[in-house]
Structure 1
């Protein structure tokens, strides 16, 4: 279901008027880039991926911020400025709900009214270690629905087939599958690849080339993920091909982890959290230099500019 979030309002009650019976609930699911995670206040042990809060628990004014903060509180996540998370009216929404202060309707609910139509609380980045310890029994290869809608895929390195952790046919080890409902919104090539990489335990697939089937000549575009497009069937699984990795090819993404701003040799100013590209090969810049460095560039497609060396202690390779 495609949703135009700019004109949508949210409804907090399932009845009309003050005489509606209590309690009324709002249902939601929680996602990280890896995929759906179990909620903390589980009301149905058979479905630990859908939570609920009472509609009356949302304080006025009834706007997106109020609802998002209530869901964060229910899950015991800290995000006071709402910078780490986004709220989607449904997992199929093509964009997050606006935080601009839009009014929230209180009758005739369209979203979040049933366990089958939950809101989606989405973390923009992976959880911290402390937050991960609060989440119980994460199993990204588990079945979420009684009749799951699977996305089938094949894994490849540059020299041939790779082995999938979710392979279900012994004679076809590169063929894996995951449940579509586990994929984090907005559902597009980048989020699907991130999810599959998490399921497989191989971060390199976050940066893989994604094809509609084994005969495709071009990577999938955004339009292919719009509602109504069938992708990843058992007969025509999607194909993920690992990117090329070799010395001298500065295309491996890495996060600069040093706080603040540093002036690194030959590369200019780098900010904490900035993405830099390297080949991942450790090197000493001189015989007298005991530190190891990565050769790096700030631009993946323009290695001639802003290139230099960064201490390996200051970089976190994102594909391993």
Structure 2
């Protein structure tokens, strides 16, 4: 009997003559050793959006990968599938602290580690159009970034992408978008909906826009529903087909104002810092978020709610050498 798996266990190359349903309408081979395997499809995301995968099967889309279903060891749950995807992508996350697995890219919450995953007759991940989503909670490490950047994405071509449209502003006026497509509207850009990291919220949206615009200040921009809105959107549950981010009414992103005394710039503590003014514990932990005006050489920690410009705050200070500004 012939097989379509090579000696190294790699899936066969993409065959454009087979539809997604053809690729999965086979015996599983989990017990019988059948020649034609079933596949599980997935995407990978960083906080700033989708990243190309290492198990590309269709040269036209390096952002969707697949593994054979029978490569997932029992018990078939989120944890075992996540381990297999991490291994396929060569990411290190033994305790599953760096990544989450979403049953679908449009899911609002990650799946629980013990949650069952259907492998024999999958509901999710069965086709390239319904992939799982492996999502990194923080930025990739340098070595991982270098590996991702080495993947060729020049052949990517999507015939009918879904777009989110947006308009950019600085605190003093319109900005020019690098993704502008209309000469008379240079501040209006667009991104593909499928590239926004789950859960698709205002935060993941602004992070993706900041990435394509090459401007980190937009990661923490204020988001408004349209140009006439008076209040910032506090929560954006973005789904394709709704009125948010349409061509006729783009979302509006406004860079936060920067000036002395306005403590609204987020920064991450890079190492353990002791400070006797802080209670309880007397320390800032590595990875903790603090806020600053970015002007003084000292930094302010908000109360436990970590809300921007919260008047009910307490002051404590950290030297600049112990911080990484997240908006530059």
Given the two structures, how large is their TM-score scaled by the length of structure 1? 0.84
Separation in structure 1 between the aligned mates of residue 245 and residue 44 of structure 2, nearest angstrom: 24
Give the alignment of 1:174-253 within 5 angstroms: 174-222=187-235, 224-225=237-238, 229-253=242-266
Long gaps (5+) in structure 2: 1-23
* Distance change >3 Å, CA 145–CA 51, structure 1 → 2: same
8 Å contact 1:30–1:36 — kept in the other structure? yes
Residue 138 of structure 1, CA deviation: 7.4
* Contact in 1 for aligned 2:27/2:36 (Cα 8 Å): no
Cα distance change of structure 1 residues 72 and 231 upon mapping to structure 2, 3 Å threshold: same
CA distance 1:228–1:42, change in 2 (3 Å): closer
Distance change (3 Å), C-alpha of 1:139 and 1:306: farther
**Is the alpha carbon distance of 1:301 and 1:80 closer, same or farther for their aligned partners in structure 2, counting shifts above 3 Å?**
same
1:298 and 2:298 correspond: no
Q: Report SS of the residue matched to 2:300.
A: strand
Aligned residues: CA RMSD: 2.6
Tell me: CA distance 1:310–1:163, structure 2 relative to 1, closer, same or farther (3 Å). Answer: same
Deviation, structure 1 residue 106 = 3.7
Shift of 1:264: 6.4
RCO (CA 8 Å, sep 6+): is it higher in 1 or 2? 1
Please, which of 140, 144, 151 is the counterpart of residue 131 of structure 1? Answer: 144
Q: How does 1:270-281 map to 2 (within 5 A)?
A: 270-281=284-295
Residues 1:164 and 2:177 are matched in the alignment: yes
| Structure 1: runs of 5 or more not aligned | 1-12, 283-292
Q: 1:165, CA displacement in angstroms? A: 1.3
Q: CA, structure 1 residues 24+112, in 2 after alignment: closer, same or farther (shift >3 Å)?
A: same
- Cα gap change, 1:138/1:168 in structure 2, threshold over 3 Å: closer, same or farther? farther
Per-residue CA shift, 1:247-303, capped at 9, x if unaligned? Answer: 011111111112x34226779521111111111114xxxxxxxxxx32423344346
1:307 aligns with 2:315: yes
Q: State the SS of the aligned residue for 2:295.
A: strand
| Aligned pairs, number | 296
Relative to the length of structure 2, the TM-score reads: 0.82
Alignment of 1:30-179 (within 5 A): 30-99=44-113, 101-136=114-149, 145-179=158-192
